[in-house]
């Protein structure tokens, strides 16, 4: 029998900690788009996708061995498989291909709808029941992000946008399933076991692709690949899943509305993409929505 309780999923003190952990994870994830853009300029998107998954799996295996972690229970295998399919394969693959032609700033803005899609998936799965006020804030924040994406794109979406939306759907599944499982298994354990679960599938692809010659790829591309492997695919999830476990998937997930604007700053610094007054204005508006949304009631199932 599932028990629903209204109010916050964690004490007020834990809410602040949950939001902070989520924000740290989002800050780490925010450089994924611009750095992936740099990596795929010289590396094949398939190598970037599966190579970083395999590299992160090696880190995960080392961490689990160091912690002497017990194997996950059988009931956790399906959620772990969904995390692997969504966060480790789906999102990196779709974004790597899309960013061959899509500006990093534009792609990052489209990812801004991820909190809403994550909350929607969590609600459909029966994990959480956000209030009407929460949905209102989520829709408002997502509408701001989409409006800004259209504004920046001259009123039209790019062809690669469908790939980004597929990436968003993939990540939403992985975030919701992983955040829920983290409450019992632990955030680091969730991403580590998911990475190991994905390793047998990604390793043959990496071997088939082959590792590019170091002399053929610039240092910037390799450093970017290293970041998306160690931080975006591994360390960032330690903070992100812990935050979701403490504060709830729907509520803490709203922090990710800030990710597109952090990515804009990263794209401006790393790629020289424009950062205008309009960018900052939209960032402030979304920050206000996030602050209001965290005060809305969410039922935990």
Average pLDDT of the residues in 26-45: 91
- pLDDT tops 90 at residue 77: yes
170-204: pLDDT as tens digits: 999 998 898 889 888 888 999 999 999 999 999 99
What pLDDT is recorded for position 71?
92
- pLDDT tops 50 at residue 95: yes
199-239: pLDDT as tens digits: 999 999 988 877 777 678 889 999 999 999 999 999 999 99
Average pLDDT of the residues in 60-72: 93
What pLDDT is recorded for position 301?
56
What pLDDT is recorded for position 7?
34
What pLDDT is recorded for position 100?
84
Could you tell me the end-to-end alpha-carbon distance of the chain, in angstroms, rounded to an integer? 10
d(CA 76, CA 84): 12
Among all chains, which residue has been given the structure tokens 């094949």?
44
138-172: pLDDT as tens digits: 788 778 877 877 776 666 666 777 888 899 999 99
- pLDDT tops 90 at residue 63: yes
What pLDDT is recorded for position 135?
80
The answer to which of 63-67, 84-88, 267-271, 289-293 has the lowest mean pLDDT is: 289-293
What pLDDT is recorded for position 189?
93
d(CA 199, CA 218): 27
- pLDDT tops 80 at residue 270: yes
CB 264 within 8 A of CB 34: no
CB 105 within 8 A of CB 264: yes
Nearest to 253 by CA among 21, 6, 5: 21
- Out of 62-66, 149-153, 294-298, the most confident range is 62-66
Maximum CA extent, the chain: 59
Identify the band that residue 82 occupies on the pLDDT scale cut at 50, 70 and 90. Answer: very high
What pLDDT is recorded for position 153?
65
What pLDDT is recorded for position 300?
56
Nearest to 205 by CA among 42, 54, 38: 54
Query: Which tokens sit at 279?
Result: 């960018």
3-state secondary structure 7-60: CCCCCHHHHHHHHHHHHHHHHHHCCHHHHHHHHHCCCCHHHHHHHHHHHHHHHH
Residue 128 bridge partners (DSSP):
300
3-state secondary structure the chain: CCCCECCCCCCHHHHHHHHHHHHHHHHHHCCHHHHHHHHHCCCCHHHHHHHHHHHHHHHHHHHHHHHCCCCCCHHHHHHHHHHHHHHHHHHHHHHHHHCCCCCHHHHHHHHHHHHHHHHHHHHHCCCEEECHHHHHHHHHHHHHHHHHHHHHCCCCCCCCHHHHHHHHHHHHHHHHHHHHHHHHHCHHHHHHHHHHHHHHHHHHHHHHHCCCCHHHCCHHHHHHHHHHHHHHHHHHHHHHHHHHHHHCHHHHHHHHHHHHHHHHHHHHHHHCCCCCHHHHHHHHHHHHHHHHHCCCCEEEC
CB 275 within 8 A of CB 126: no
Distances (CA, A) of 97 to 2, 56, 151, 263: 41, 20, 23, 18
């Amino acid at each position: 029998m599932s028990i629903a309780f209204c109010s916050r999923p964690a004490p007020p003190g834990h809410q602040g900690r949950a939001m902070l952990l989520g924000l740290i994870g989002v800050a780490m994830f925010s450089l994924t788009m611009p750095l992936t853009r740099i990596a795929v300029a010289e590396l094949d998107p398939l190598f970037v996708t599966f190579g970083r998954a395999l590299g992160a799996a090696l880190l995960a295996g080392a961490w689990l061995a160091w912690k002497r972690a017990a194997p996950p229970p059988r009931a956790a295998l399906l959620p772990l498989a969904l995390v692997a399919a969504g966060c480790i394969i789906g999102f990196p693959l779709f974004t790597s291909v899309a960013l061959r032609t899509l500006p990093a700033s534009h792609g990052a803005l489209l990812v801004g709808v991820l909190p809403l899609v994550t909350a929607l998936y969590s609600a459909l799965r029966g994990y959480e029941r956000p209030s009407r006020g929460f949905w209102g804030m989520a829709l408002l924040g997502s509408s701001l992000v989409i409006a800004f994406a259209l504004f920046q794109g001259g009123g039209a979406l790019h062809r690669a946008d469908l790939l980004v939306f597929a990436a968003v759907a993939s990540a939403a599944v992985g975030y919701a399933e992983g955040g829920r499982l983290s409450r019992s298994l632990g955030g680091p354990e969730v991403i580590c076991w998911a990475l190991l679960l994905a390793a047998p599938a990604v390793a043959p692809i990496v071997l088939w692709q082959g590792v590019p010659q170091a002399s053929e790829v610039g240092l910037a591309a390799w450093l970017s690949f290293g970041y998306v492997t160690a931080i975006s695919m591994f360390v960032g999830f330690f903070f992100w899943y812990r935050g979701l476990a403490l504060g709830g998937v729907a509520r803490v997930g709203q922090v990710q509305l800030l990710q597109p604007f952090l990515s804009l700053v990263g794209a401006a610094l790393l790629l020289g993409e424009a950062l205008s007054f309009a960018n900052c204005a939209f960032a402030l508006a979304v920050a206000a929505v996030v602050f209001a949304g965290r005060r809305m009631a969410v039922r935990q199932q």
